[in-house]
Structure 1
Amino acid sequence: MPVDALPPIFLLTHEFHPVRGGIATFAEEMARAAADSGRSVEVWAQAAPAEREPVWPFPVRRLSLKGSQDFVCQARLAWELVWHRRRLRRGILFLPEPGPMLAMMALQFFGGIRPHRLVLTFHGSEILQFHRKPITRWLTRRLIRQADRVSTLSRYTRELLVSRFPEAAHKTCLTPGALRSASERTAAVPTARESGHIVVLTVGRLHPRKGQLLTLRALAALPPATRARLEYWIVGGQSKRGYENLLRAEAAQSGLTVRFFGSVPDAELENLYRQADIFALTSVDHGDSVEGFGLVYLEAAGHGLPIVGHAIGGVPEAVVPDVTGFLVRPGDSLSLTAAFARLIDDEGLRAQFAAAGRGWAHRNTWRRSAELLFNDLS
């Protein structure tokens, strides 16, 4: 079938530019890849501050909702789906994250609000959250049965999904993550170092699951002479329940030079990546919150950074153990400190991991993931 005869794709998300994070990156890149392949794509996204919208290869409708999962937000999104039901009957409705899924769960009993095709993507934590309560478990099962295709970014997440919702087993495909388009364009640009120290960089929202505190403690356990050669840079905002205050208090007592950058624009983040020597993200399970994959690990590898992380969730699918970085069992603080020590003391090993990481990060493309998800859906 000619591309221009294929049904349009309507991508609904609460996490889209200027929101940062793995889900926002996934939504943006999948929409871009589908549009670049000639598909008709329209993104419906949360409200955003009055600033210049980036140039997208597809139209973006900013909805009058803040993008949370509370009742008001879900009701407004459900109303949008009802209002545009005739357009959706001719198109592919793509729900790449849990917020829009919850809205659609409430509408799935009304036959008049059925898209031509329904596509879902699960990332990890929402699987456990939807399964925990009987009502959302039942609604999720119904939604998956109605879906034409389901995807995950990692085998770990697929296994987690199928174990909780067996209905997904025969309709789930793997849509691997890839480098952000901006990273591919700018990763090779050299930048002068601001410091003669070895820089350990963490990028991620300030949340206990992201493990910044564990990285800080592992670095603080290094010998004083080693600590004197280091700087620990923490990038990220959205602090959870005073977590940033705890981090700052421990940083002040750590004997390390620790810099907090908060949320930074893409151009500044690229600069920080190019000045760093080691990337660290020691994620852990935190209640129902799990690390389903971690696009940021690919981003770090694409910038030539050796990685230190935890062997947990889908992380071993983003980091090749002992090839692009070190993965340590969660809770093994001695081994975590030893992993940092090896990379700090061995410049050759850092270069070896960096070279392997660059190749590894480029093995997948968003274009291929979009083809896997949308091809044959006519």
Structure 2
Amino acid sequence: MPDLSNSNALALLVTRNFPPLLGGMEKVNQHLLGALQPVWRTALCGPAGCAQYAPPQTDVQQSRVKPLPLFLATTLWRATRFAWRRKPEWVIAGSGLTAPIVWLAARCAGGRAAVYLHGLDIIAPSRLYQWLWLPFIRRCDLAIVNSANTAKLARSRGVPFANTHVLHPGTDLPTLDAEAARDFRQRNSFGERPLLLSVGRLTQRKGLAEFVAKSLPSIASHRSDVLLMVIGDEASDALHTRTGSERERILAAAQIHGVEQNLCFLGRCDDASLSAAYQAANIHVFPVLELPGDVEGFGMVALESAAHGLPTMAFAVGGVPDAVLDGYTGILIEPGNYVALADAVTRQLTLARENDIVAACRDFAAHKAWPVFAERLRSLLDSHRA
């Protein structure tokens, strides 16, 4: 356990990735900040609106998210001024984007700098970023990474091996509710149709358009009533998105390949509806793409799926193998092999959601629950104290 004797120690989190913005990185940083409080008093320099999502008694500085240069400049000023005055022991970057700010703020405070790396923030395809940001990431006293693949990417970019530690994102472990699952199906008029579930912001990297074009027709040829439920909105706040609507690309792929009747967009759901969807579904599909200059750092939705007892069929891309225990909580497929993915989904649909599968999924998730994440984070920071 970390030493709790220094109750006046302060930790400052500096990040753009925090609610009210949506996404896995935002969820991780919210839990990261909460995990600090048993040991450190907390402060946050984050996006406008973040104060209502921060833990109680957190000192919050907020900056407009857009345009990005304004956010960075404003946050640099506020973080360094705060650090100079309040002398935090740790200054933590919620992603590589704020690593230069954190390094400078830590030097102002005479403290230590840490960065939580998610994957894309290491390999971002920008010469300016690679030239300016990466040196500060390398200089941080501690680099926390979300998967073994992200650790590999960090080390390939010169982040010191001794300073790099894997800390998987966590998950909640909900109480299963069969009645909620039945109500979800009834409310959406799904009946007993076999349900495939995709969860997450609609981005090219998630690979849904390709899955709909290359796998869903084969699955539907075996189960004509199969339905792919897509939960999530367009990624309007993401830094790396292509122009146009990803939803329209997915829908166009379904129309071209004659599976429009096998596709349903549910948009963004509240937590209760999302939990019910996980429990109502037969399979979670995660057909992530390998894209130049982009990477799936971990795959939190696969872990959340396991927490609900739902297996995941996924391509073994990026950090996804850290989130899916192959053969137990799902099946990992060679990236880009849509025939094998369709076959795996089709075979899984012939199986009932057996208790042993549910138990294996939930046991895996329990070992990566948020309390485990919090204890591991505090231990890492405590072990790297000056």
TM over 0.5: yes
SS of structure 2 residue aligned to 1:170: helix
**How far did 1:304 drift?**
0.7
Corresponding position: 1:71 with 2:43: no
CA contact (8 A) 2:112 2:141 kept: yes
**Contact 2:13/2:91 (<8 A) preserved:** yes
Q: What is the aligned partner in structure 1 of residue 52 from structure 2? A: 53
Aligned equivalent of 1:26: 28
Q: RMSD over aligned Cα, in angstroms?
A: 2.5
* Cα distance between partner residues in 1 of 2:45 and 2:220: 51
Residues of 2 paired with 1:254 and 1:97: CA distance?
39
Per the alignment, do residues 88 and 170 of structure 1 end up closer, same or farther by CA in structure 2, a change over 3 Å counting?
Answer: farther
Pairing of 1:81-230 with structure 2 (within 5 A): 81-87=79-85, 89-104=87-102, 107=104, 113-129=108-124, 133=127, 135-165=128-158, 167-179=159-171, 183-184=172-173, 186-190=174-178, 191=180, 192=182, 193-194=185-186, 195-217=191-213, 218-224=215-221, 226-228=223-225, 230=226
Q: Deviations over 1:177-229 (max 9, x none)?
A: 221xxx33x4423312323111111011111101112332312222535022x
Whether the 8 Å CA contact 2:234–2:246 is kept in 1: the answer is no
Write the distance in 2 (CA, Å) between the matches of 1:145 and 1:255.
Answer: 48
C-alpha displacement of 1:271: 2.3
Residue of structure 2 aligned with 1:356, choices 342, 355, 360: 360
Is 1:372 the counterpart of 2:379? The answer is yes
Change (3 A) 1:226 1:27: same
User: Hey, what does 2:322 align to over in structure 1?
Assistant: 317
SS at match of 1:84: helix
Which consecutive unaligned segments of at least 5 residues does structure 2 have? 236-241
* % same residue: 23
Bigger mean CA deviation after superposition, 300-309 or 95-104: 95-104
Per the TM alignment, residue 359 of structure 1 is displaced from its structure 2 partner at its CA by: 0.5
Give TM-score scaled by structure 2 length.
0.85
Q: How does 1:166-315 map to 2 (within 5 A)?
A: 167-179=159-171, 183-184=172-173, 186-190=174-178, 191=180, 192=182, 193-194=185-186, 195-217=191-213, 218-224=215-221, 226-228=223-225, 230-239=226-235, 240=242, 241-252=244-255, 253-254=258-259, 256-315=261-320
Which moves more between the two structures, 232-241 or 138-147? 138-147
Q: How far apart, in 2, do the equivalents of 1:176 and 1:316 lie?
A: 12
Q: Cα 1:96–1:287, aligned 2, differ >3 Å: closer, same or farther?
A: same
| 2:219 aligned counterpart, secondary structure | coil
Deviation of 1:152 after TM superposition, in Å, equals 0.5
Aligned partners of 1:344, 1:39: CA distance in 2, in Å? Answer: 48
Q: CA deviation at 1:159?
A: 1.1
Cα displacement string for residues 141-191 of structure 1 (whole angstroms, at most 9, x for unaligned residues): 5323532211101111111100112x4212111212221xxx33x442331
Structure 1 pair 268–18 and aligned structure 2 pair: CA distance change class (3 A): farther
